[in-house]
Chain A
């Protein structure tokens, strides 16, 4: 236990240089883009001297490290600049979208593991049986089906033809935020996109779990467990399962990343206002302050995902805690 805390603290310390490097890179790339904060905002008839004066006032002529510190301190205070398209602070634009993406991804993750764990365990435990073949067939179909095709089919069948689910948006119009109906409607809007994504995403996890279980069940310590007199179900639940989820635990942190980044395809198909959709639209409309903020958030999400994944692994696997 002592080792674990040491490991976690050390791992968190490592993320700081990563975050700084990310912000520097992003800042330099933003600087490389043509134009500056005044471009497009100021009357083109304003003489050059006045513009130059404004630049001087805004600090745009300062050396890059001064401007970088300025920018970073703004971010820390929650100031990500102004959106050119929405004419409002980027922070506000992004906050709504992050919340939407978070819920969509969370429900997707829950579905993904709800499907993956039982299927993977059954498939691995009863490998080379009819049941296993059926599950494996599903995973191959899942691998072969592009999500944007599958999601379209889902919308068409369950949205338009059967009319069981709404086909766009994140909430029904005209509902008062904060009421029960509002949240139910939000959840209802999540279901179909989340399920579509989960059904496809889960197949790799099913496959991982299956092959890990097949691998683990012929390890020597499983024979030791049997020789102790442990029942088959105990052998599977106590010994095989925990040893088989290591790669999935490692993967889990990265899946967490999608809680913030959202899904570009699915959000677009379901016209769901999340981060993926915001990113695409902002790129297309060259709303650079938003693109900048979104890319920064994605980067942070990746770094935190990796951090989380390492911490989860260190909890599951004691061998990682040393060194």
Chain B
């Protein structure tokens, strides 16, 4: 039950994009087509789960026992960057279809603040290992959900008559604001 609440909380109530503002760059950048939004969401979820596993192990088995918590920021970012590179190589070797679906998005994800944010939140809230993995899964699902909804709206928005100065990023942000307003309705759920 505890795990379920963590999942729902990360995915919907405290959605990474719409409540914590993590991963806004891909949210604005990749959300203009439904297909690329789905792929990006899946790739991010994949990296998030791996990050949750590795960052937990690194933080609790290396940094804490050796009193190195002040190295948290550089070590997280380095481990995430090299890990993503490694995962990309493995996927390329093992599964070509999967590589074609996720490949181009993987390098972009390294500098996505949602990934580092996930690792930092995990260590800040002192989750257990299983909780942290579920937290990563929930955050990825929430990110995908927000991205896919946004892409669906933006495909319709292309047909709308938006005033010229508001075309592009401004209208996207305003739509995201309304979407965030809708997601606030879930706030009382937990």
Q: A and B: real partners?
A: no
